Amino acid sequence: MEKGAPVVRGESSVTCFSYYTPKCKQKELQFRLVAAIESGDLPQVHKLVVSGVYIDCIILLVKTPLIHAMEQGHEHIASYLISAGADPNKPERNAWFRQPIHTAVFKNMYNIVIKLLVHGADIEAQDGNGMTPLLYSAIYNCGEITKLLISYGANLNMEDFVKRTALHFAAERNFMEIADTLLTTGIDIDHQDKYGWSALFGAIMYNHLEMVQLLLSRGASVQLKDYTGDTALHLACSRFRREKVYVVLSTSEDLYKRKRRIPTLSFQNLCVRFRGSNINIVRCLIDAGACVQAHNNNGLAPLDLCKEQNVMQCLVSVGAHLDPEWIEAAVQFTDSGNSEELISWLLSQFKQQHQLLMVCKVAIRRHLAFTKSISGAIQELPLPKSLKDFLALVY
């Protein structure tokens, strides 16, 4: 053959332009489907479906056309694909392992959620973190979808892989409406996760006073202990100990951050904004009957953990045990710049603790703890106002 002469192919030769195998044709249809979905072109999507594109194919390596349409925000295309027979339970092929209903929830597509459920979507489907659609609705603050899922029979107490329920996530994010809906419909308010945290612990950790008040008003227990033996009051007095940060990092809703113990943006912001103890949360817990003498696995009471002077005074005023040696040691680690005044006050409280009046105060408050509102119960006692004021006094 002469150099430069044209190559003549036989009749059996094929080119990718003149002939397609069924597999090649299917791949081209799928590429066109991706383009049609991303441009929101419903007529083109319909044309491709009629032409035989596999409606449940895996595109972009990991996802189905239905999931991709929802992620792109094209609700009309997602609705069409469901009607055309797309599998409502086929998950994406990555570590998240989300099913279409998960995507519909976090994109807040109410009508698509309904359509998926009508077409057989699993209402208890779990993603790679073990999270169900109900947990997603709590994480992403989708109030109407939360109510919808509950009306369709979603299990309120379904856990993810670290035994957290929807209430845990709502409490951490201060989503009051979601929490109220869950509590009203019967979720277990004291459900403890893998680390022994109830929703109350999460609300305290993230410094949400209103959520703490809501949970306490609905009967949340202040006596539960986590895996280190800490009660909610221990946590309120010292939130950023290493073992508490570990719990936050190990229970993140973000799969990759959970596995790698990486703090979420919300937790980073919390660390920057406020690392101290919220005296108002401490007072709420005490009024709800929290035991100031409870000891954790290391033998420490809440008073042993606090550094703020106002929190220390609050605990002592309702009966936290004092001794002179502890006073001198504790003052060195407080955030108070007026140590002499604090020492003097603590020593005076130490002397008063053994007086009959103070012993009676502590005993009466302890017996009223079952009411979940000690201050309110004191006002109902048949006692003079001055004595009621003394019993109710919390610094």
pTM value? Answer: 0.88
Question: Is the Cβ–Cβ distance between 183 and 217 less than 8 Å?
Answer: no
- Over 289-340, what HEC string results? CCCCCCCCCCCCCHHHHCCCHHHHHHHHHCCCCCCHHHHHHHHCCCCCCCHH
Q: How far is CA 75 from CA 156, 163, 299, 338, in A?
A: 27, 32, 56, 62
Q: How far is CA 88 from CA 79, 103, 110, 114, 147, in A?
A: 11, 11, 15, 11, 21
* Sign of the alpha-carbon torsion through 116, 118, 122, 124: positive
* Distance of alpha carbon 79 from alpha carbon 77, whole angstroms: 5
Q: Which domains does the chain have, with CATH numbers?
A: 19-126 (1.25.40.20), 162-251+268-321 (1.25.40.20), 323-394 (no CATH)
Structure tokens at 340: 């002499």
Per-residue pLDDT of the chain in tens (395 residues, 90 and over written 9): 444 544 444 444 444 445 678 899 999 999 999 999 999 999 999 999 999 999 999 999 999 999 999 999 999 999 999 999 999 999 999 999 999 999 999 999 999 999 999 999 999 999 999 999 999 999 999 999 999 999 999 999 999 999 999 999 999 999 999 999 999 999 999 999 999 999 999 999 999 999 999 999 999 999 999 999 999 999 999 999 999 999 999 999 888 888 888 888 888 888 887 777 789 999 999 999 999 999 999 999 999 998 888 898 899 989 888 877 777 776 666 655 567 777 788 878 887 887 888 889 889 999 999 999 999 999 999 999 999 998 998 87
